[in-house]
A and B are shown apart, each in its own frame.
Chain A
Amino acid sequence: MKKIKTPILAMALDDNISDDVFESIEEAEVNQNTKNLLTTDTNYDKRPSSTGYRDYKLSSATRKPSDPSLKILHKTILLGDSGVGKTSLLVKFDTGKFQTGNFSATVGIGFTNKIISVDDSKVKLQIWDTAGQERFRSVTHAYYRDAHALLLLYDVTNKISFDNIRAWLSEIRDYANEQVVIMLIGNKADCNPSDRMVKREDGERLAKEYSVTFMETSAKSGLNVEIAFMAVARELLFKKTGIEKKGSFNVQDYVKEQTKSNCPACSTT
């Protein structure tokens, strides 16, 4: 690849480099995208976006729609402090089971493939479950860059895990692709009201501030677990095939709608 001096173009290129590891379907697309970027498209959309990040651009505008029946591979990373329930959330989603008993910290990164049907398309989620401990940070950073979606978890019974979310978000900004879909999740929402340390509103407020999607989940009761991953899958699929197919999709609206209809209890808390 040629060296390009213009900063904006270089930034766009940067983006491409991080996409290099994508699977073949996407790679083809991205390559096509590269040409477009190099020639014309350096204007970023000024509208506030669903992820709310600086310089966010609607990538689908310059992309050809993919065949929705094709499997699309997406990398999703679970992040958050140690003990907030990342592995439990994933295991619940993957197997429908909740592991009771002893907490056992994840070592390194765990890797699970899961295929989700969204309408008539199949979305293949490659889910990376990371260890929350500080010493694994450098390992997980290496995988941020390739991620399409990040589920950022805190524990509603642990104030510190919530306070650390800002640090996590700034880390994400440093390491992740700027188009990444971010979802803030307050886990363990099934807890005893007296154990709750983080109000639902606090979570909502923070999510709003960073313009990310928010929901509360419980790996124990299964509350919103499916919806969290489905919302990610939908958003990712929409980014791929979006405009031609559905016109618009707003992940936040989707989540609001889903959590309302499926769980009257939590919309009242």
Chain B
Amino acid sequence: MISSEEYSENMEEAQETDISILVSDVNNIAIEESEVNKSISENKPLPSSSEQSNSYENLFDQLKGHNKHIFVLSTAGKPIYTRFGNENQLASLFGLMLALMSVTQDSNDTLQSICCGRTRIVFVNKDPIILVGVSQRSEPYDQIKKQLIYVYNNIISTLTLTQLKKIFLNRTNFDLRRLMSGSERLIDKLITFTENDPGFLLDSISCLQMPSNSRDKITQTILTECSKIKNLVFGLLIAQKHIISIVRMKKYSLQVSDIHLILNLINSTESFKTAESWTPICLPTFDSSGYMHAHISYLAEDCQACLVLLTIDHDLFFTLSEAKRKITEKMRRNDCLQAINDAIIRQPLSLARANILGLRHLLYKIKNRSQHWCPPFTLPYNTDTLQQNLMSVYCSLISQMNFPGRNLKVIYQQLTSETIVAWATDEVELYMCFEPMVSKECATNAVTKLTQWMKKEEDSLFIFNIPMF
């Protein structure tokens, strides 16, 4: 059994300090650290009120009400984003973060994380911006770091890396919030996504379950139109959090983390539903240096699937608009719209159908396709809290399984409220949750039985055909 403590590959040894002490010392530190103090006072004069410390305490009390924080600041110490509270009021806290970073930098070192009791603070320096995650949820270090990278990618996707670097090269003191305005909401939602979605844990996407022949017909329709258009690179059809279909240009492929950003953008932007939209978007994993242009539209009033067409040509709006019209028309004629609607309203495939004794829930990932299936939660996981607990059980299981430099095939763990099994083959990864008292033998049998059952179901659960044009 591996305890999560093994993950503390921190530069700093776990500190005994309590976070509240650190927090209440904010003002002192800001004053003692001459360098930091300078940068703060340059950027934003601190409020000169005598009730300053009092109001800070209130502020930190509010912050302490949440167990997961994400902060983003520039390397000059300017606040860029905080998940809770207001950046302006947290100027001194941002100053403290910068101080901690620069103290370690002075000794030619890099601060990666700090542990204090149950609190873990993770730092990611992506010059010209710094991201800091504070978690009291006993999440592994890699997990928090990955979340911070996602937030970073989201910033890149709105600005491009080239632009970001250029801005801070010209003006180190730039207030990035000016350019970020309106996208804070996207970051908020993205963080929630990283906390709840198995796709984030598994680096995979979830597909809308539908008969494979319907899916092929849809894909073919999109492909036929898309292949006619020069400079069109990707096409995706999305139903809420699930992918229906993907087509792509020869030699190019979409990475999972980029798809997650697109999904988050679609699912957090209500205005896409009111009008056909056209927006620049940077896909950081695909190409962080430049924008692609996305034509985003829902297929029809009576079919709420969202079609995203990505191109490198900023003049292609009307061409894509026309292509979309044709795709919808053709899909309507072929009953594809109906097939999509049926798939959206259909009860998702339940694990109970597999009829495996003692198996409560699972995550099933096809490795080389980066797709997963997460069946709906059933009893006893009927509340949000219980589901979230299960997700964090999965989270630690997944990071144990994929710990770099180790090649585990099976993990069997008996916890107080469930028995969990991780099972990896060359093709799939399985994370299963059983009744607490299930024996190893029984669990092994379940794996065999499930694998057989999945062979029958996987055609509708996964996308096996991602054609090129």
- Using a CB-CB cutoff of 8 Å, which residues 68-99 of chain A contact chain B? 82, 87, 90-91, 94, 99
A138 closest partner in B (C-beta): B280
Known: A87-B271, A110-B271, A135-B159. A82 touches B277 (CB 8 A): no
Complex: A91 Cα to B195 Cα, angstroms? 33
Known: A105-B185, A131-B182, A135-B159. A90 touches B275 (CB 8 A): yes
**A94 CB contacts on chain B under 8 angstroms:** 274
B224 at interface, CB cutoff 8 A: no
**B274 CB contacts on chain A under 8 angstroms:** 87, 90-91, 94, 110, 112
Complex: A43 Cα to B90 Cα, angstroms? 61
A104 adjacent to B277 (CB under 8 Å): no
A104 touches which one: B179, B185, B279, B317 (CB < 8 A)? B185
B277 adjacent to A109 (CB under 8 Å): yes
State the Cβ distance, A34 to closest chain B Cβ, in Å: 23
**A90 CB contacts on chain B under 8 angstroms:** 274-275
Complex: A265 Cα to B15 Cα, angstroms? 66
- Using a CB-CB cutoff of 8 Å, which residues 102-124 of chain B contact chain A? none
A108 touches which one: B180, B185, B268, B280 (CB < 8 A)? B280
Complex: A133 Cα to B269 Cα, angstroms? 15
Number of interface residues of B (CB under 8 A): 27
A111 adjacent to B275 (CB under 8 Å): yes
Complex: A110 Cα to B180 Cα, angstroms? 19
State the Cβ distance, A232 to closest chain B Cβ, in Å: 17
A107 touches which one: B179, B180, B277, B314 (CB < 8 A)? B277
For A87, A99, A104, which residue has the most chain B Cβ atoms within 10 angstroms? Answer: A104
Complex: A157 Cα to B272 Cα, angstroms? 26
A82 adjacent to B271 (CB under 8 Å): no
Helix, strand, loop or mixed for chain A's interface?
mixed
For B180, B274, B278, B314, which residue has the most chain A Cβ atoms within 10 angstroms? Answer: B274
- Using a CB-CB cutoff of 8 Å, which residues 148-191 of chain B contact chain A? 158-159, 178-183, 185
**A91 CB contacts on chain B under 8 angstroms:** 274
A106 touches which one: B271, B280, B294, B317 (CB < 8 A)? B271
Complex: A132 Cα to B292 Cα, angstroms? 20
**B182 CB contacts on chain A under 8 angstroms:** 82, 105, 107, 131-133
Complex: A91 Cα to B279 Cα, angstroms? 19
B275 adjacent to A134 (CB under 8 Å): no
B158 adjacent to A110 (CB under 8 Å): no
Complex: A142 Cα to B268 Cα, angstroms? 26
State the Cβ distance, B302 to closest chain A Cβ, in Å: 15
B275 touches which one: A99, A112, A142 (CB < 8 A)? A112
Complex: A106 Cα to B277 Cα, angstroms? 9
B274 closest partner in A (C-beta): A91
B265 adjacent to A107 (CB under 8 Å): yes
Known: A104-B185, A133-B182, A134-B179. A111 touches B270 (CB 8 A): no
A111 touches which one: B159, B185, B269, B321 (CB < 8 A)? B321
B321 closest partner in A (C-beta): A111
A133 closest partner in B (C-beta): B182
- Using a CB-CB cutoff of 8 Å, which residues 397-439 of chain B contact chain A? none
B276 at interface, CB cutoff 8 A: yes
- Using a CB-CB cutoff of 8 Å, which residues 196-220 of chain A contact chain B? none
B181 adjacent to A82 (CB under 8 Å): yes
A38 at interface, CB cutoff 8 A: no
B270 touches which one: A104, A108, A129, A134 (CB < 8 A)? A104
State the Cβ distance, B282 to closest chain A Cβ, in Å: 11
Complex: A136 Cα to B277 Cα, angstroms? 13
State the Cβ distance, B196 to closest chain A Cβ, in Å: 19
State the Cβ distance, A116 to closest chain B Cβ, in Å: 17
B181 adjacent to A107 (CB under 8 Å): no
A111 closest partner in B (C-beta): B276
**A11 CB contacts on chain B under 8 angstroms:** none
Complex: A36 Cα to B251 Cα, angstroms? 51
State the Cβ distance, A83 to closest chain B Cβ, in Å: 9
A135 adjacent to B158 (CB under 8 Å): yes
Bits for B359-401, please: 1 = Cβ < 8 Å to A, else 0: 0000000000000000000000000000000000000000000
Bits for B262-300, please: 1 = Cβ < 8 Å to A, else 0: 000100111110111111100000000000001010000
A87 closest partner in B (C-beta): B271
Bits for A129-148, please: 1 = Cβ < 8 Å to B, else 0: 10111111001001000000
State the Cβ distance, B63 to closest chain A Cβ, in Å: 23
Complex: A131 Cα to B183 Cα, angstroms? 11
**A133 CB contacts on chain B under 8 angstroms:** 179, 181-183
**A105 CB contacts on chain B under 8 angstroms:** 181-183, 185, 269, 271
State the Cβ distance, A146 to closest chain B Cβ, in Å: 11
For A107, A111, A131, A132, which residue has the most chain B Cβ atoms within 10 angstroms? Answer: A107
Which 3 A-B pairs rank lowest in CB-CB distance, beginning with the nearest? A108-B279, A110-B275, A105-B182
In the complex, 27 of the A-B residue pairs with CB atoms within 8 angstroms, ordered by the A residue number, are A90-B275, A91-B274, A104-B185, A104-B271, A105-B181, A106-B269, A107-B182, A107-B269, A107-B272, A107-B277, A107-B279, A108-B277, A109-B277, A109-B278, A110-B271, A110-B275, A110-B278, A111-B276, A111-B277, A111-B278, A111-B321, A112-B275, A129-B275, A133-B181, A133-B182, A133-B183, A134-B178
For the complex with contacts A111-B275, A133-B179, A139-B279, 16 further pairs of A-B residues with Cβ separation under 8 Å are A90-B275, A104-B185, A104-B268, A105-B182, A107-B182, A107-B265, A109-B278, A110-B276, A112-B274, A131-B182, A132-B182, A133-B183, A134-B179, A135-B180, A139-B278, A142-B314
Residues of A within 8 A of B (CB): 82, 87, 90-91, 94, 99, 102, 104-112, 129, 131-136, 139, 142
